[in-house]
C-alpha cells in the first residue's frame, strides 16, 4: 500500500464546531487531494494541492479550507461544521502531471450532529 494515512478514521462532532482532518504521506508525491464521497454523487473534489503552499479549490469547496505547509501533510478544515458535511472524506496523492494513478487513504467517516 502507498504510504498515505488519514486521521482520524472516525469522528462525530457537533454543528458549528471546527474540525480538522489530516492526511499524511511518505511518498514525497507532489499532488494531494481531498474528496468527499456521498451516495449518488461519487467522489467530489473539495480542494487540492500541487505543491507546498500551492492549493486550489475543487467543485465543492464552500465551507472548507486547506493548508499544506510541508510536502507530506495536507490538512482539511471545516470551519464551522454543518450536517450537510456529514460524509466520508478521502485523501489522495499523485506523483505526476497527467497521470490518473492516485493512491487513496482509508477514508475518514465524519458525522455532524
- Where along the sequence are the contacts to another protein (CB under 8 A)? 31, 33, 35, 40-45, 48, 50, 56, 58, 90, 92, 94, 96-102, 104-107
- Triad 41, 72, 61: Cα angle to 5°: 30
d(CA 92, CA 90): 7
When the beta carbons of 19 and 31 are compared against another protein, the nearer one is 31
In the complex, least distance from residue 26 CB atom to another protein, rounded to whole angstroms:
16
Phi, psi torsion values for 85, nearest 5 degrees: -95, 5
User: From residue 69, how far is each of 8, 52, 55, 61 by CA, in Å?
Assistant: 19, 6, 11, 19
When the beta carbons of 74 and 90 are compared against another protein, the nearer one is 90
In the complex, least distance from residue 72 CB atom to another protein, rounded to whole angstroms:
18
In the complex, least distance from residue 88 CB atom to another protein, rounded to whole angstroms:
9
Amino acid at each position: 500500500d502507498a504510504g498515505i494515512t488519514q486521521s482520524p478514521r472516525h469522528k462525530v462532532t457537533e454543528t458549528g464546531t471546527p474540525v480538522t482532518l489530516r492526511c499524511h504521506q511518505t511518498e514525497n508525491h507532489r499532488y494531494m487531494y481531498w474528496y468527499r464521497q456521498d451516495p449518488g454523487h461519487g467522489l467530489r473534489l473539495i480542494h487540492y494541492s500541487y505543491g507546498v503552499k500551492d492549493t486550489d479549490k475543487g467543485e465543492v469547496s464552500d465551507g472548507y479550507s486547506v493548508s499544506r505547509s510541508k510536502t507530506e501533510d495536507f490538512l482539511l478544515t471545516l470551519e464551522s461544521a454543518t450536517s450537510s458535511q456529514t460524509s466520508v472524506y478521502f485523501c489522495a496523492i499523485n506523483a505526476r502531471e497527467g497521470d490518473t494513478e492516485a493512491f487513496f487513504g482509508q477514508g475518514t467517516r465524519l458525522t455532524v450532529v
